[in-house]
């Protein structure tokens, strides 16, 4: 079974493309790093204070079955009320919210959650005729 693959073909090419895009779009302190030459995993790090992003870390890892990319973002601290933000983001709270099950990208989508949690899963639409 084949998994998702980097469109550039390598982690190094993907990292270079990301660094170029970040530079073109106003990001600063852009750098690429790896743990050692023997490890194929690469990371790209940048910041964009004007967008309230103190640290963006993109980790690119080629694998035997599939490649993966992990994003981690640390926002800047801004004045405000955390409780007010929570209410705006989750007006119904999180207690009764169910996590969606993970599916393989090539698996046929399961829309059984649509009846249970319509806000989390969109209803399927028919595939257009060619």
- 49: confidence class by pLDDT, cuts 50, 70, 90: very high
The sheet with strand 53-61 has its strands ordered as: 28-33, 42-48, 53-61, 68-75
Residue 100 has pLDDT above 90, yes or no: no
Report if residue 21 sits inside a domain: yes
Which has more pLDDT, 120 or 44?
44
107 lies in a domain?
Answer: no
How would residue 105 be classed by pLDDT, with cut points 50, 70 and 90?
low
Mean pLDDT of the chain: 77
Percent of the chain with pLDDT over 70: 65
Q: Is residue 99 part of a domain?
A: no
CA torsion angle 30 33 71 15 (round to 10): 70
| pLDDT: which is higher, 54 or 128 | 54
Q: In this structure, is residue 81 part of a structural domain?
A: yes
% pLDDT > 90, the chain: 26
**Number of independent structural domains in the chain:** 1
The span from the CA of 46 to the CA of 43, in Å, is 10
Residue 36 pLDDT > 60, yes or no? Answer: yes
Q: List Cβ neighbours of 21 (8 Å cut-off, separation of 6 or more).
A: none
Residue 6 in any domain: the answer is no
| pLDDT confidence tier of residue 83, bands split at 50, 70 and 90 | confident
Decide which of 113 and 24 is more confident.
24
Residue pair 8/72 in contact (Cβ under 8 Å)? The answer is no
Position 89 scores a pLDDT of 79
Give the residue-averaged pLDDT of 57-66: 83
CB 77 within 8 A of CB 16: no
Q: Supply the range of the domain harboring residue 71.
A: 11-93
For 54, residues 6+ apart whose C-beta sits below 8 A from its C-beta are 47, 74, 75, 76
């Amino acid at each position: 079974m084949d998994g998702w693959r980097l469109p550039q073909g390598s982690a190094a090419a993907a990292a270079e493309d990301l660094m170029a895009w970040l530079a073109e779009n106003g990001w600063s302190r852009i750098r690429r790093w790896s743990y050692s030459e023997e490890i194929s995993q690469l990371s790209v790090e940048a910041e964009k204070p004007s967008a309230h992003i103190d640290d963006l870390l993109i980790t690119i890892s080629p694998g035997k079955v599939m490649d993966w990319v992990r994003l981690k973002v640390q926002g800047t601290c801004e004045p405000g009320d955390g409780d007010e933000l929570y209410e705006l983001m989750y007006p119904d709270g999180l207690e009764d919210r169910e996590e969606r099950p993970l599916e393989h990208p090539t698996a046929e989508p399961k829309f059984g959650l649509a009846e249970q949690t319509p806000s989390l899963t969109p209803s399927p639409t028919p595939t257009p005729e060619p």
